[in-house]
Structure 1
């Protein structure tokens, strides 16, 4: 009996050890499975977070975004008003007719104007009581040399826009005008109208049919060869305003060049109203298109009629923001020549019926300007529009 009991004990102890080992193994396996599933789940979430929700951009520039426009009910405008030799008085008159305390203004007389004329304009801007009180008018003190058929007009526009970005605070649209432009409606009315439309819109007359501009002949070639489409050289010009301190007309290079195939050329009016996001894109150029196009238009005749149009219509962010109108009444020959007609009282009715907010081209102190002042703008004795309902 004693031997039997002695045999039972070792067998029972063996079974207990085996059972404990089995339980321990099961617990360990369960723990490993739980840890594995948890790690796999976390890894999947990390993977999805890194590669699905926020995929790595192809280019760093894709992380940059166009800034949103202002949320204020009434927009703000930024104006460039530019002129040349002898335009000081006309520029002052246009500035006063356009003035509104809500807007921002940059005025520029190019280097063809005398130092005295530029100093007189600077003194006017600095000392005018209303400008001093509101602080929204500034003169471009470092004047540029502007050849109106060359790229220097584009660079001057970009320069003024950069100044208005730096000093002009918040504004929604940029409008470029010359001393020979004049408003046909008050700024109150214009701001009221613009308050009803999206602020990413760009008012820029444009077309991809560059037509005769692709094959325009320089004068010396026009004199020595027949006017044949196949004999026309696509123009390459040099603007002395890029390197000279004295203004002179552009000159022609006999070298031919083909139309670019990396982007499509557009042309249109040199006068426009551009949105703040688009101008910021032109100045920053985070995908390099604005700089590439600017380099191309450095040798292009009348580049103000093509640079902004080409950039906008080739940039995916902005190509669907265009309104094909330059907001001007302009009287052209048919076919159009280099410059439009000077407007007179004979054009008054057509100007009013056009519903355009601006018109050009006006001579200095034309009687029609007095008619516009009294019948359309209601300017007071100081030269300002008599009411500013929007503050």
Structure 2
């Protein structure tokens, strides 16, 4: 009986000790610290700088208390209100940017609010933006995206939309569709950059232009290498896209493919790029490019060999045939069994890629890449909020033009 009583007393005492620690932490972090006051509203203007410096432990406990911003479309659509309330920058921020317009291809299928945050981050009135909305997205989602795009002369929806399958040809075709639209644009864009809805910029528009012009001498950027043996399964066999009960997937047939057309050497690299307008025209018109596109229809993830292969042709416009993984297109944290994991993922992994959390932000802003991937608003809203506040401050600090009040993000 004495032993049983002693055990019960010990358990009870331990419970109260733990409870006391929890209450103390609550008082320290949520009552005494001004960052955590006001309950449902975190003061990110104070919290984010500490996080970027790697000193945001207090902020980490309370950063989820602010709800994500929502994007509302009212009927009739009030475009002036959308531009003002969502803080779109409405004039160019330097003469250098005005004279070097960029084109963007953005493929999206979910998280409308994350798309709006990405779009307003990279938006500049001298640029042009082609938005490819996945055909399988809901009608309401498509309607809202189109309503937003219709508020701007330089944003449009792709004239042809694909039912995109992960790893399938449809992903490559989506980019091709936008390229066909962009070459007919009245905007005299110099380079095209492709993005997905879970990207977010690190370099500003001005810094991207500097990077392309100085580091790359205005040429194409397609990181990659000659296709290694362990990646040949992607192009040695025939793959098919399948949609079943609304679920899209790709599967391999036990059937070998023919050799690449026109004796082309296949390379393997990033699906993301920065390409000159002349190269895009080449892609759409050159016989080798057309043949490779047709041959790639039943390969796995053809967007990871198509651009890099064509950019290794020595007679292609803006070609960079001798580079390997140089390019710094994306900052990505891979799962440890896939690639360099650096200091680990502070968010969570999806398909072996880190969805960034607050603890990853210090690492992100130290990277030389143009963009970071990937972000999810519903899963890591505080990380997105801090990232876009840091980015908007960076943009406005670089300009000598008059800053309009609505360009500042609400804190």
Q: What TM-score do the two structures reach when normalised by structure 2?
A: 0.64
Instruction: Give the alignment partner of residue 117 of structure 2, picking from 80, 83, 93.
Output: 93
Kindly state the Cα deviation for residue 240 of structure 1 after the two structures are TM-superposed: 4.0
Structural mapping, 1:329-348, within 5 Å: 329-336=331-338, 338-348=351-361
- Match of 2:162? 144
Tell me if 1:81 matches 2:106. yes
Structural mapping, 1:28-47, within 5 Å: none
Tell me the distance in 2 between the aligned counterparts of 1:92 and 1:72.
22
Report if the CA contact (8 A) 2:164-2:171 is conserved.
yes
Tell me the distance in 2 between the aligned counterparts of 1:278 and 1:314.
11
Residues 304-347 of structure 1 deviation map (CA, whole Å, 9 limit, x = unaligned): 10111112213533584255325210111244285411112222
Report if the CA contact (8 A) 2:135-2:161 is conserved.
yes
Aligned to 2:181, the other structure's residue is in SS state helix
Bigger mean CA deviation after superposition, 317-326 or 265-274: 317-326
- Match of 2:376? 363
Report if the CA contact (8 A) 2:310-2:316 is conserved.
no
Residues 354-391 of structure 1 deviation map (CA, whole Å, 9 limit, x = unaligned): 12121001112521111112223328xxxx96876589
Aligned to 1:281, the other structure's residue is in SS state helix
Kindly state the Cα deviation for residue 251 of structure 1 after the two structures are TM-superposed: 2.3
Aligned to 1:346, the other structure's residue is in SS state helix
Structure-2 change in CA distance of 1:170 and 1:295 (3 Å): same
Tell me the distance in 1 between the aligned counterparts of 2:393 and 2:210.
17
Structural mapping, 1:117-266, within 5 Å: 117-127=141-151, 131=152, 135-140=153-158, 142-196=160-214, 200-215=218-233, 234-240=236-242, 248-257=248-257, 259-260=259-260, 262-266=263-267
**Gaps (5+ residues) in structure 1?**
1-70, 217-232
Tell me the distance in 1 between the aligned counterparts of 2:140 and 2:398.
33
Report if the CA contact (8 A) 1:76-1:170 is conserved.
yes
**Gaps (5+ residues) in structure 2?**
1-95, 340-350, 403-411
Report if the CA contact (8 A) 2:328-2:368 is conserved.
no
Residues 15-59 of structure 1 deviation map (CA, whole Å, 9 limit, x = unaligned): xxxxxxxxxxxxxxxxxxxxxxxxxxxxxxxxxxxxxxxxxxxxx
Aligned to 1:354, the other structure's residue is in SS state coil
Structure-2 change in CA distance of 1:385 and 1:88 (3 Å): farther
Structural mapping, 1:12-27, within 5 Å: none
Alignment length, in residue pairs? Answer: 290
Larger Rg over CA atoms: 1
Tell me the distance in 1 between the aligned counterparts of 2:401 and 2:224.
32
Tell me the distance in 2 between the aligned counterparts of 1:371 and 1:258.
49
- Match of 1:107? 131
Aligned to 2:249, the other structure's residue is in SS state coil
Aligned to 2:174, the other structure's residue is in SS state helix
Aligned to 1:375, the other structure's residue is in SS state helix
Kindly state the Cα deviation for residue 137 of structure 1 after the two structures are TM-superposed: 1.1
